Structure formats: C-alpha cells, structure tokens
Amino acid sequence: MAAIYSLYVINKSGGLIFYKDYGSAGRMDTNDSLRMASLWHSMHAISQQLSPISGCSGIELLQADTFDLHCFQSLTGTKFFVVCDPGTQHMEGLLKHIYELYTDYVLKNPFYEMEMPIRCELFDIKLSQAIQKDSVALLSR
C-alpha cells in the first residue's frame, strides 16, 4: 500500500537532480528517469504557452488513469513532483515541506553545488522521515 510512488526534483534547466522511488512496479532505470524529468520540464513549459489566460505557471496536477502527479515549482524554477495514488490528498503541503527541507539541508549545505545532483545525507534522512510521517498520517485517516 504505497500512497506515494516516487519523488523527482528537477533544476531550472530540466536536469534531474534528485529521484527516489518508493515502490512502484517495474523500476525505472537512470536513463529513463532523466528522460522523464526533461520531458516533464518541457510539458510544463508548453502548458504555460497554451493557457487561455495570462499568468499561467504550469501544470500543478496531472490526473492519469492509475496515478496522480502533483508538481510544485519554486520561484527559482526548481520543480518538485510526486507520483501518488489517484485522489491522494494534501500533496501540496507535502511538496512545500519537501521544498523547506531542500532549502534547509541542500541549499544551506556549503558543499552543495547549485544545479548539481543532490547528495546530502541529512536531506535523505529528513525526507524519508517526512514521507513516512505522511504515509502514517494517510493510514490513520
């Protein structure tokens, strides 16, 4: 019973800087996850061009047949998106929380180089705690 299937973080130029899988069937290999990330980056940009009203900031929620994809874009262009079960609630909150963790444990890490893949132990730990807490909260609901 996985509520959240995977989490991606893409930098402002569409490169995948973080990917974590939480038990989706048929794991994606590294090349595929990189392709997915840059494909999503482009789709996000095209959706802004097709908007009938000005001020569009890209896709926030994609509802597929077997999953929902929630996307959050920070002001600097970094995109966070989670793949979860259809109809999972409170994903915006989780994404904001993940963004907070990113600013605290990645951006404030003096050894982290901007726009490069994230390799920060503390971020990993805090992230798995947040996801776990979220799935526990989901189970109790």
| Binding-site ranges for other proteins (CB under 8 A) | 2, 5-6, 24-26, 28, 32, 35-36, 39-40, 42-43, 46-67, 69, 83
3-state secondary structure of 84: strand
Nearer to other proteins, 23 or 108 (CB): 23
* DSSP structural state of residue 26: S
Measured between alpha carbons, how far is 141 from 4 in angstroms, rounded to an integer? 15
Nearer to other proteins, 71 or 118 (CB): 71
Nearer to other proteins, 6 or 78 (CB): 6
Least separation, in Å, of the C-beta of 127 and other proteins?
18
Least separation, in Å, of the C-beta of 116 and other proteins?
24
Residue where the block lists tokens 């893949």 = 117
- Pair of tokens at residue 95: 């994404």
From the centroid of its chain, how far is CA 64?
16
Nearer to other proteins, 4 or 120 (CB): 4
Contact 62, 75 (CB under 8 A): no
Least separation, in Å, of the C-beta of 40 and other proteins?
7
Q: Which residues contact 37 (CB under 8 A, 6 or more apart)?
A: 8, 10, 14, 15, 16, 19
Least separation, in Å, of the C-beta of 23 and other proteins?
8
